[in-house]
């Protein structure tokens, strides 16, 4: 088939690479976000140009110029692999078989932009990805296929995305293209009664409340590791906590440093304690927590807020 690919960053780049390596379909155009001044070139653009593919970077898809450009490409299918710019129906419908889109959750659960963070933060033991036929609603289109992944008790956001959803997502994109080509691609309506939506997992959402149950704090830290990073304050300055562990049988006041050890420092919570192993203080680089203890002279009895 003649494919147009919309995407960005490493996931988009790896989708283009996988399609080229498979060698069964032709990529007639790659669409990615416009360049940003002072920012590195997007990996998908860099790879597409190096591969001799045509690259387009419209800031919106509503103009007739962009629509006519896509019509001239005469694509059979549009593959949306990590798209952040809204693409209207009149554009999604230009390809012969329409458009399919990747979303990193088991729709209709976790519609929205931070769909990997939230199930981890909620303590779920399972998530996944969906390839669907997008409509003008947010992640509301009919489902083509889904793949599940386990969330292990120690998995971080980085573990779930890079080690599980990312590689499985590439496989799902290739499988979906093949199903469309063979005329076997399902269109299963989502059950809106089961739908959930969460907005961005941003800095505000990542603030640690040390009075919460230990497990909730632990899930927040791993669900925001590496981005945006769960944070607290020490001496009025921001401290992000990344790698951590729950500590049983250790009690103290919420937010109080109750122990220093060879792995880092333990912070009291509502019912147990959190051992911080890797941190980032202010705008400095990430360091092991023991180094932070030495740098600031952290002492038992001091408090985070």
Split at pLDDT 50, 70, 90, the class of 117 is very high
Q: Report the half-sphere exposure of 251 (CA within 13 A, side-chain side).
A: 3
CB of 303 closer than 8 Å to CB of 269: no
pLDDT above 70 as % of the chain: 100
Of all residues in the chain, the percent with pLDDT exceeding 90 is 95
Q: How far apart are CA 136 and CA 225, in angstroms?
A: 31
Q: Look up residue 219 and give its DSSP letter.
A: H
Which pair of structure tokens corresponds to residue 239? 């401290």
- How far apart CA 276 and CA 261 sit, in angstroms, is 10
Residue 225: both structure tokens together: 């590791």
pLDDT for position 250: 72
Spell out the domains of the chain, with CATH numbers in brackets: 2-194 (3.40.50.170), 214-296 (3.10.25.10)
| 110 within 8 A of 198, measured Cβ to Cβ | yes
* CA-based end-to-end distance of the chain: 57
pLDDT score recorded for residue 84 = 81
Residue 271: predicted pLDDT: 87
295: which residues sit within 8 A by CB, 6+ positions away?
281, 287
What was the pLDDT predicted at 178?
98
């Amino acid at each position: 088939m003649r494919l147009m690919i919309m995407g960005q960053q490493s996931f988009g780049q790896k989708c283009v690479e996988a399609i080229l390596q498979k060698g069964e379909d032709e990529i007639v155009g790659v669409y990615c976000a416009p360049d940003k001044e002072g920012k590195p070139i997007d990996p998908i653009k860099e790879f597409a140009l190096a591969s001799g593919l045509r690259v387009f970077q419209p800031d919106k898809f509503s103009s007739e110029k962009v629509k006519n450009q896509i019509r001239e490409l005469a694509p059979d299918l549009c593959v949306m692999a990590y798209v952040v710019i809204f693409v209207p129906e009149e554009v999604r419908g230009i390809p012969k078989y329409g458009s399919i889109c990747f979303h990193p959750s088991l729709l209709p659960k976790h519609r929205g932009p931070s769909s990997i963070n939230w199930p981890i933060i909620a303590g779920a033991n399972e998530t996944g990805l969906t390839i669907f036929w997008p409509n003008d609603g947010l992640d509301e289109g009919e489902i083509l296929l889904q793949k599940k992944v386990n969330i292990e008790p120690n998995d971080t956001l980085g573990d779930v995305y890079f080690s599980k959803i990312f590689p499985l997502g590439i496989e799902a994109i290739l499988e979906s293209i093949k199903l469309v080509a063979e005329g076997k691609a399902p269109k299963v309506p989502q059950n809106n009664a089961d739908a959930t939506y969460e907005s961005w997992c941003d800095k505000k959402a990542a603030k640690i409340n040390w009075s919460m149950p230990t497990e909730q704090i632990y899930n927040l830290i791993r669900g925001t590791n590496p981005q945006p990073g769960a944070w607290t304050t020490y001496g009025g300055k921001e401290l992000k906590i990344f790698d951590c562990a729950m500590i049983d049988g250790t009690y103290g006041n919420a937010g109080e440093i109750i122990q220093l050890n060879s792995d880092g420092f333990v912070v009291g919570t509502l019912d147990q304690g959190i051992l911080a192993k890797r941190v980032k203080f202010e705008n400095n680089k990430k360091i092991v927590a023991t180094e932070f203890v030495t740098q600031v002279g952290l002492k038992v009895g001091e408090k985070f807020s």
